[in-house]
Amino acid sequence: MSIDAQILSALRQAGDGSVSGADLAQQLGVSRAAIWARIEELRQLGYEIEAGPHIGYRLRSSPDALHADDLTARLGRTRVIGRDIRVFEQTTSTNDIVEKLARDGVPEGVAVFAEAQTRGRGRLGRQWISPARQGIWCSVLLRPDLRPQQATQLTVAAAASLVAAIRSQTGLKPEIKWPNDILVNGRKLAGILTELSAELDHIRYVILGIGVDVNVEAEAFPADLRRTATSLAIETGERVSRPELAVAILRELDRNYRRIAAGEFEGVADEWEASCTTIGREVTIRIGDRRVRGRAESLGEDGALLLRTEHGRIEPITGGDVTLEK
Ligand code: BTN
């Protein structure tokens, strides 16, 4: 952890209490003057840190900004996801950044956030609106020991993680529309874009792109999306802390990724199914130019949606656009 991350971590651990400059200096192995200089920098970034000769340092409030050191300090120890966190002020798409990191051989678990994306993308070549400081636009690099057909497991894990994190941070009860739309009151507020590089029999790497409309205001959505899109702020009536939610998502993702690595996808699938509104419904799925109709029965072992078609056959579906029939 960097010095700033360690300072923020110590201040957070103290809660309403304070930490003395001397203790911090000793813990971190630097001078008190160095601590003071870092505290000044953190104040410039918007952290309200009280200081006094007798009270030491106390964290009074944090900005609603994504800072790598702060996210690292809040996250604490995770096994894989978020052990390396990078934040960009603006980028084309965080998936692009992670793809470059993947090609450069960076280990799995790196999480890249951007405050704004200029070319955020959604599934099926759609655009993903990513206004500055209003959402969580994040991509995570994974190098799982899975076959390409099992990549859907990771999307399932991401959706289950998003539901759990949103629920714990806001009290809302999001629903999953297969394969990866997260809805509240029938409107979408988060999505997942899974991009894959694979050989025939094994995955080289996966980029899990996660977008959450956190404090996006209704006017920020283009007119054609206003009836179908929403945000956590719109649904709860209050602003939601992006750093807290970001960390909750990374933590849940780490937990679910470990379950998959341990061969325990079933537990993840059960959680996913409990929030999924597609299972048990009559649906039409558009896959390119093809349309398949049937009843969404359950999630298969690899993470595919098992569809009982009009002809009574079970067809595993790994991608497409779903419309609920009744
Ligand atoms: C969808 O629902 O169509 C998927 C949306 C995924 C959006 C996220 S935002 C972070 C990452 N970077 C992108 O360009 N897309 C994903």
80-90 average pLDDT score: 97
Report CA(30)–ligand 1 centroid distance (Å): 41
**Cβ atoms of residues 183 and 174 within 8 Å:** yes
12-25 per-position pLDDT tens digit: 999 989 999 999 99
* The pLDDT value given to residue 310: 87
Q: Could you give the number of structural domains in the chain?
A: 3
Q: Are residues 27 and 167 in the same domain?
A: no
Atom of ligand 1 nearest to the CA of 135: 9
Q: Quick one: what percent of the chain has pLDDT higher than 70?
A: 100
pTM of the model: 0.94
Q: Which domain holds residue 311?
A: 282-324
278-305 per-position pLDDT tens digit: 999 999 999 889 999 999 999 888 888 9
Q: Are residues 252 and 315 in the same domain?
A: no
* The pLDDT value given to residue 95: 98
CA distance 214 to 13: 26
Provide the b/e sequence for 187-203 (b: ≥16 CB within 10 Å).
Answer: bbbbbbbbbeeeeeeeb
Atom of ligand 1 nearest to the CA of 124: 3
92: which residues sit within 8 A by CB, 6+ positions away?
117, 118, 119
**Cβ atoms of residues 234 and 227 within 8 Å:** no
Return the top range by mean pLDDT from 103-112, 144-153, 171-180, 310-319.
Answer: 103-112
**Cβ atoms of residues 232 and 166 within 8 Å:** yes
169-193 per-position pLDDT tens digit: 999 999 999 888 999 999 999 999 9
Model confidence at 130, pLDDT cuts 50, 70, 90, reads: very high
Report CA(128)–ligand 1 centroid distance (Å): 6
Residue whose CB lies within 8 A of the most ligand 1 atoms, among 66, 87, 95, for a mutation test? 95
CA distance 2 to 28: 10
Q: Are residues 90 and 137 in the same domain?
A: yes
Query: Does ligand 1 have an atom closer than 6 angstroms to the CB of 193?
Result: yes
93-108 per-position pLDDT tens digit: 999 999 999 999 999 9
Q: Are residues 255 and 287 in the same domain?
A: no
Query: Does ligand 1 have an atom closer than 6 angstroms to the CB of 208?
Result: no
Query: Does ligand 1 have an atom closer than 6 angstroms to the CB of 179?
Result: no
Query: Does ligand 1 have an atom closer than 6 angstroms to the CB of 194?
Result: no
78 pLDDT more than 80: no
* The pLDDT value given to residue 57: 96
Model confidence at 243, pLDDT cuts 50, 70, 90, reads: very high
Query: Does ligand 1 have an atom closer than 6 angstroms to the CB of 177?
Result: no
**Cβ atoms of residues 46 and 8 within 8 Å:** no
Q: Quick one: what percent of the chain has pLDDT higher than 90?
A: 84
Q: Are residues 202 and 235 in the same domain?
A: yes
Atom of ligand 1 nearest to the CA of 138: 10
Q: Are residues 56 and 77 in the same domain?
A: no
Q: Are residues 201 and 82 in the same domain?
A: yes
Q: Are residues 150 and 200 in the same domain?
A: yes
- Pairing of the two strands 110-117 and 84-91: parallel
CA-nearest residue, atom 2 of ligand 1: 191
Report CA(179)–ligand 1 centroid distance (Å): 14
Q: What is the CATH number of the domain that holds 10?
A: 1.10.10.10
* The pLDDT value given to residue 248: 98
* The pLDDT value given to residue 239: 96
Query: Does ligand 1 have an atom closer than 6 angstroms to the CB of 192?
Result: yes
326 pLDDT more than 80: no
**Cβ atoms of residues 310 and 284 within 8 Å:** no
Report CA(193)–ligand 1 centroid distance (Å): 5
Query: Does ligand 1 have an atom closer than 6 angstroms to the CB of 95?
Result: yes
259-264 average pLDDT score: 95
Q: Which amino acid is at 6?
A: Q
Atom of ligand 1 nearest to the CA of 92: 14
Q: Are residues 51 and 73 in the same domain?
A: no
| Omega of the bond leading into 179 within 30 degrees of 0 (cis) | yes
217-226 per-position pLDDT tens digit: 999 998 888 8
